[in-house]
Chain A
Amino acid sequence: SQQGEEDPQALSIQEGENATMNCSYKTSINNLQWYRQNSGRGLVHLILIRSNEREKHSGRLRVTLDTSKKSSSLLITASRAADTASYFCATLYSGYSTLTFGKGTMLLVSP
């Protein structure tokens, strides 16, 4: 299976703290994307990082990509209770046109 892995599976923090989630994948990619899913809802696209990029920012989000280690991290700074959700990484593997989703990290931010 090409499915990637995320860690941790679950993360519980207090408001104001930073949350870091990691994603590992199997083979070479075109890009890696992070999505957010609130309980029982669809996915919201957060950020896309291409294989030739190392870091990207969007508001309180910071994504890094290390192609040598086949891994990515998503950092949410100054977390809020509204950030509580599941976060998935998805990879677009080279030569493929469909996304492969990781298993996700459930983030709980307590007030």
Chain B
Amino acid sequence: GAVVSQHPSRVICKSGTSVKIECRSLDFQATTMFWYRQFPKQSLMLMATSNEGSKATYEQGVEKDKFLINHASLTLSTLTVTSAHPEDSSFYICSARSPGLDGGARETQYFGPGTRLLVL
């Protein structure tokens, strides 16, 4: 159990276009989802936290108008990179958390397989 999927797994787009990445919890309801960005051979940097039905909380330095996050249901969150530029090329990973999965502790996150974005 506790499977998180992401779609697409890889996307190449032209500079100036927008790209939407989906994150789904397949077998549980995710009250909270997280979006991370990872550069090659580096750690994960948290971009934002989204709770179902409310606005996302963005980390310092992350442009909310650039990276639009929607968490419309308990199983789906989307990240839209608007007007993408080459510097937005990165590996984007989502994760989901549910208190029901670890006895209410809300401690464990389940990660998706990631989406590699290349902006030309």
CB distance from A89 to the nearest CB of B (A): 10
CB pair A98 B116 closer than 8 Å: no
A-B contact pairs, 28 of them (CB 8 A): A33-B107, A40-B116, A41-B114, A42-B4, A42-B111, A42-B112, A42-B113, A43-B44, A43-B93, A43-B95, A43-B111, A45-B108, A45-B111, A48-B107, A48-B108, A88-B43, A92-B107, A97-B49, A98-B34, A98-B46, A99-B46, A101-B44, A101-B45, A103-B42, A103-B43, A104-B42, A104-B43, A106-B41
Does A31 count as interface, using CB distance less than 8 angstroms? Answer: yes
Q: How large is the interface on B (under 10, 10 to 19, 20 to 34, 35 or more residues)?
A: 20 to 34
Q: A92-B107, A101-B45, A102-B43 are in contact. List 19 more A-B contacts (CB 8 A).
A: A31-B107, A40-B116, A41-B114, A42-B6, A42-B112, A42-B113, A43-B93, A45-B108, A45-B109, A97-B49, A98-B46, A99-B34, A100-B46, A101-B43, A101-B44, A103-B42, A103-B43, A104-B42, A104-B43
CB pair A97 B106 closer than 8 Å: yes
Closest residue of B by beta carbon distance from A6: B43
Per-residue CB contact flags for chain A residues 67-111 toward chain B (1 = under 8 Å, else 0) read 000000000000000000000100010000111111110100000
Q: How far is the CA of A47 from the CA of B42 in the complex (A)?
A: 21
B contact residues around A41 at 8 Å (CB): 113-114
CB pair A42 B106 closer than 8 Å: no
A contact residues around B44 at 8 Å (CB): 43, 88, 101
10 nearest A-B residue pairs (beta carbon): A43-B111, A42-B111, A42-B113, A101-B44, A101-B43, A103-B43, A42-B114, A42-B112, A41-B113, A104-B43
Our count of residue pairs bridging A and B at CB distance below 8 angstroms stands at 50
Does A28 count as interface, using CB distance less than 8 angstroms? Answer: no
CB distance from A20 to the nearest CB of B (A): 19
Does B91 count as interface, using CB distance less than 8 angstroms? Answer: yes
Does B110 count as interface, using CB distance less than 8 angstroms? Answer: yes
